[in-house]
Amino acid sequence: MSGTFVGMPAFPRAAHDAVRDTTLRGNLRHATHTIRAKRAKAVAEVSDWAELREAGKRIKDHTLRHLDRYLEQLEESVTAAGGTVHWAADAEEANRIVADLVKATGETEVVKVKSMATQEIGLNEALEAEGIRAYETDLAELIVQLGKDRPSHILVPAIHRNRGEIRDIFTREMSEWGRPAPDGLTDTPAELAEAARLHLREKFLRAKVGISGANFMVAETGTLVVVESEGNGRMCLTLPETLISVVGIEKIVPTWQDLEVFLQTLPRSSTAERMNPYTSTWTGTTDGDGPAAFHLVLLDNGRTDTLADEVGRQALRCIRCSACLNVCPVYERAGGHAYGSVYPGPIGAILSPQLRGTGSEIDASLPYASSLCGACYEVCPVAIDIPEVLVHLRERVVQGGPATREGNKVVLKPAKGHAAERAAMRAAQWAFTRPGVLRTGQRLASRTRRLHPRTLPGPGRAWSGTRDLPAVPAEPFRDWWQRTHGTGEDGGAK
Ligand code: SF4
């Protein structure tokens, strides 16, 4: 994934710093509460929402089950329509393909429509190393790029910035990248939007190469779909002579009829709109209309590893609506940067450790970045059971040790951390499989209960500092049952 996230501290450490930033918490609270209320209203308007959600889940599961077949169909359709398909196993290969394609045009500048896949692979940095400058054209991405910042939300990458901060970034940085901000720029939304429009317009008109992602790819016709609110995507997709789209292989749907479901659930779940203001679709190339050359780079980068995991594969259903972020109490307080990935929030906590493996400190910590309250599952328009996957990944981290990718394989290695937890689990397993030992231990614990400490020593001190340890009863349950019922707790005579 993007080099900008390499070496991030584990989630608890990053979140510890983030929650102390009162401006950040204020910005996040205001934004997430506003979006979540609007979403709830937009969803409530649809009487068959539950059916749409179930349909989306089934379509995605069916497609993932037959992914090989649909990808081959897509390749045939795109090629027949005049496009060229490239396959990229990982970030390095995808970046090399895109850089070579841009260099072949002789250009040194590209315009980009917001794309999570290109952020995931660190495309901007890879292009820069080849002497190619990439200009982000989505307003929020522009703010992130000008501010030398990192995105912190799937849909609103600059959600951590307020209007005053954005005005300062525009005033300070725009001249470095092209047309400067107007003199006396204020922080009113209209003025900020106009400054961005003027700054970007000259880039749109000059660019010969556009780079995009896609929300969906329709296998039956080879059509790509981008939904957006600003119109910058439409400019990037239509004005340049060459269009390069980098898309994760899971973004495929078999037919236009399947697409219909997601074009209803995505806008209501993301921007709380009944439909997206701009829905752009394109199929290969058309003489005299739009780009003359179209390249589709199909990106794996850990997706087939994720697909191999029976529990974890449901993360590939994600349509990146960001509804789970907006209802997550952990995201609201910690912010997106603490997740150390382009995919923050609940979906990031299950997607990043699967795409990247759990070998790094940050990735091994992500499955724990949740209270398992289940709010994310409730709002997810494709019914991804995020808490289930989180628990599954915790199991992988604790029992199997970190999983790392070696070439195309996921390899489990002995865990280095969590030694105390693993020792405690082994001791519990030993005791629970020996009823006589367990009974003796419970009696001993009851008899010595007045001597038990109220807080745990050593590394357990922080845990017990904020919790009451459960009181040990004067008599173990088994003894009480036998005394009062005269039978074993399974009902059998003792
Ligand atoms: S996991 Fe579900 S709610 Fe979260 S971004 Fe993906 S589709 Fe939306």
What confidence tens digit (pLDDT) does each residue in 3-33 have? 445 556 788 888 888 888 888 888 889 989 9
Q: In what order do the strands lie in the sheet with 209-212?
A: 84-88, 293-299, 242-248, 209-212, 109-112, 133-136
Residues in contact with 482: Cβ distance below 8 Å, sequence separation at least 6, in sequence order? 488, 494
323 CA: nearest ligand 1 atom = 3
**Residue that is written with structure tokens 């779940």 in the block:** 269
| Rg for the chain, CA atoms, rounded | 26
Cα distance between residue 76 and residue 219, in whole Å: 9
Ligand 1 center–CA 232 separation, angstroms = 24
Query: What residues does 87 pair with on adjacent strands?
Result: 298
Cα distance between residue 267 and residue 261, in whole Å: 11
**Residues lining ligand 1, Cβ inside 6 A:** 269, 318-324, 347, 379-382, 384
Query: What residue segments make up the domains of the chain, in order of their start?
Result: 11-303, 434-485
345 CA: nearest ligand 1 atom = 4
Cβ-based neighbour number of residue 323 at 10 Å: 30
Task: Report which residue type is found at 325.
Answer: L
For residue 462, the Cα-to-chain-centroid distance in whole angstroms is: 30
For residue 354, which of 401, 417, 410 has the smallest C-alpha distance? 410
Query: Where does 11-303 sit in CATH, by number?
Result: 3.40.50.10420
379 CA: nearest ligand 1 atom = 3
**pTM check: above 0.75:** yes
For residue 255, the Cα-to-chain-centroid distance in whole angstroms is: 25
Q: Please compute, for residue 156, the number of CA atoms within 13 A of its CA located in the half-sphere on the CB side.
A: 16
Query: Does residue 84 have a pLDDT over 90?
Result: yes
pLDDT tens sequence across 71-80: 999 999 999 9
pLDDT tens sequence across 158-217: 888 889 999 999 999 999 999 999 999 999 999 999 999 999 999 999 999 999 999 999
User: What SS3 class is residue 411?
Assistant: strand
Measured by CA distance, the residue closest to atom 7 of ligand 1 is 318
Instruction: Quote the DSSP letter at residue 370.
Output: -
Cβ-based neighbour number of residue 353 at 10 Å: 31
Query: Does residue 278 have a pLDDT over 90?
Result: yes
Cα distance between residue 295 and residue 209, in whole Å: 11
Cα distance between residue 194 and residue 190, in whole Å: 6
